[in-house]
Amino acid sequence: MIDKIRADFPILQREVYGKPLIYLDNSATTQKPRVVVDAIVDEYYSVNANVHRGVHFLSQQATNLHEGARKTVQKFINAASTNEIVFTRGTTESINLLAFSFGEEFMKEGDEIIISTMEHHSNIVPWQLLAARKGIAIKVIPINDKGELLIDEYRKLFSERTKLVSVAHVSNVLGTINPVKEIIDIAHTNDVPVLIDGAQSVPHIPVDVQALDADFYAFSSHKIYGPTGIGVLYGKEKWLDAIPPYQGGGEMIQHVSFERTTFNELPFKFEAGTPDYIGTTGLAIALDYVSAIGLENIAAYEHELTRYATQRLKEIEGLRIYGEADNKSSVISFLVGDIHHFDLGTLLDRLGIAVRTGHHCAQPLMQRLGIEGTVRASLAMYNTKEEVDALVEGIKRVAKMF
C-alpha cells in the first residue's frame, strides 16, 4: 500500500545532494500526487475559461468543475450546504476574512475574543489588526507543560463582552489535537460562536463540521496534497448571511449602480474577482484522492508512525520533545542538547532530510516554552519507518559532531 502511495508522488523519487529525499516538512506543505498536477494541466489545456459569466461551452464546463469542487469540499467536511463553502487563498485569508467581516458587524470597542497560546501567527495577527482598528481585547487560553489547553482556565475567560473564540484544531508545533468539540460546547453555553483553524487537522483526521457544531472552520489546500493558493472558509449560513463582504469587485455583486450596490447570494458574496477555478479543481482531486485512501486509514498509519518516531527519537541522548499531549497528531518538535535548531536542520538537510527549523510562526508559544525555536519533523501518509530510522541516524551523526 505504502509503495503504491509513494509511487503517486513523483517528487519522492528525487535525490538532493545525491541522496534520496526524505521529506519530513509536511506541516509546512505536502507534496502533490500526479493526479492533482495532471488535473490542473488538463484543465488549462482543455477546459480553461472564466467561470460563472460565459454562455459558451467552455465557460459552462469550467463552472461545472468549479462548483463541483465546492460540492466535494462540502461533502469532505460534511457541511450542510455548498452556500457555506467560501473559497479563499488559504487558512490565512479565511481568518483575515472573518476577522474583518465578523469584526465589522459584531464587534465594538471593549469587546473580547479568546484565542490560545499555541496559535499560529495567522490566528493571532488578524485579531491584533482588528484590535488596533476597533479597540477589542484578546484573551489567551494557557497550556500545561505537555502542551495541552487548560480547559478550566478557558472557562474562566468568558465575559459578557466575549464575541468569538478562535483556536487551532491541531497545533503545528506541538501536534496537540485540541478537544474542539468541548471548546465549542463551552463557547455555545456562553452564546459565543467559534472559528476553528483546521490547517493542521483536515489533512490528518476526519472532520465533520456539523458534528462539531463549528460556526466557522478554515483550512488550506496545499497542506492536504492540493495546489497552493486555494483554501476554504466554512461558515454556518446564518453567520455568513449576517456579516458584510470582505472585498468588493466582480462576482460578489447582484446589481451595481453609482447610487447603490446589492450583493450576491452566498457563497459568492465573499468571492470577489475571478476565483482560482483551476485551484479548486486541484483541491477537489486531492480530496478525492485522500477519500479513496480513507482518512481513518491515513490517521491510523500516521499515528503508528508517530508513535514509532517518538520512541526512536527518545533513544537519542539529550533529545527533548516539545509537545507530549495525550492526543497528538504527526508533528514532532524537538531540540538536542545545546545544538542550535538551525545548525541541526542545516546538517540534516545535507543528508537529504528536509525538516523545518525555527519558531514555526508561533512566537508566543516559543516564549511560553522558553525557547527560540525547534527542529520539527512532520509526517504524512507517504513517510515510512525507514525514513524515521534515517532521521534518527542523521541526528545521532550530527550530535557526534558537536
Please give the positions annotated as active site. Answer: 361
Question: Where in 29-88 is the site for ligand PMP (CB under 6 A)?
Answer: none
Least Å distance, CB 319 to ligand PMP, is 23
Q: Which of 347, 315, 310 is nearest to 326 (CA)?
A: 310
> How many residues are listed for the chain in this entry?
402
Close Cβ partners of 300 (under 8 Å, ≥ 6 residues apart): none
Contact with ligand PMP (CB under 6 A) among 22, 114, 141, 168: 168
> Distance between terminal CA atoms of the chain?
39
Question: Where in 305-364 is the site for ligand PMP (CB under 6 A)?
Answer: 361
Size of the residue set binding ligand PMP (CB under 6 A): 14
> By the 8 A CB rule, do 368 and 321 touch?
no
Residue 178 within binding range of ligand PMP, rule CB under 6 A = no
Contact with ligand PMP (CB under 6 A) among 52, 120, 204, 341: 120
Beta strands in 201-349 (DSSP E): 216-220, 231-235, 253-256, 261-263, 319-322, 331-336
Q: Whole-angstrom Cα distance, residue 236 to residue 214? A: 8
Close Cβ partners of 95 (under 8 Å, ≥ 6 residues apart): 122, 123, 126, 166, 195, 197, 218
> By the 8 A CB rule, do 28 and 378 touch?
yes
Q: Whole-angstrom Cα distance, residue 356 to residue 324? A: 19
101/221 with CB nearer ligand PMP: 221
Stretch that binds ligand PMP, among 45-53, 107-115, 119-127, 387-395 (CB under 6 A): 119-127
Residue 167 within binding range of ligand PMP, rule CB under 6 A = no
Q: Which grid coordinates belong to 83?
A: 452556500
> By the 8 A CB rule, do 313 and 320 touch?
no
Q: Whole-angstrom Cα distance, residue 328 to residue 37? A: 31
Question: Where in 198-237 is the site for ligand PMP (CB under 6 A)?
Answer: 199-200, 220
> By the 8 A CB rule, do 351 and 21 touch?
no
Residue 115 within binding range of ligand PMP, rule CB under 6 A = no
Stretch that binds ligand PMP, among 62-70, 192-200, 256-264, 278-286 (CB under 6 A): 192-200
Stretch that binds ligand PMP, among 35-43, 194-202, 239-247, 339-347 (CB under 6 A): 194-202
Residue 122 within binding range of ligand PMP, rule CB under 6 A = yes
27/281 with CB nearer ligand PMP: 27
Residue 374 within binding range of ligand PMP, rule CB under 6 A = no
> Any idea which residue has 456562553 for its cell?
190
Contact with ligand PMP (CB under 6 A) among 33, 90, 126, 282: 90
Stretch that binds ligand PMP, among 74-82, 116-124, 299-307, 325-333 (CB under 6 A): 116-124
Footprint on this chain of ligand PMP (rule: CB under 6 A): 27, 90-92, 120, 122-123, 168, 172, 197, 199-200, 220, 361
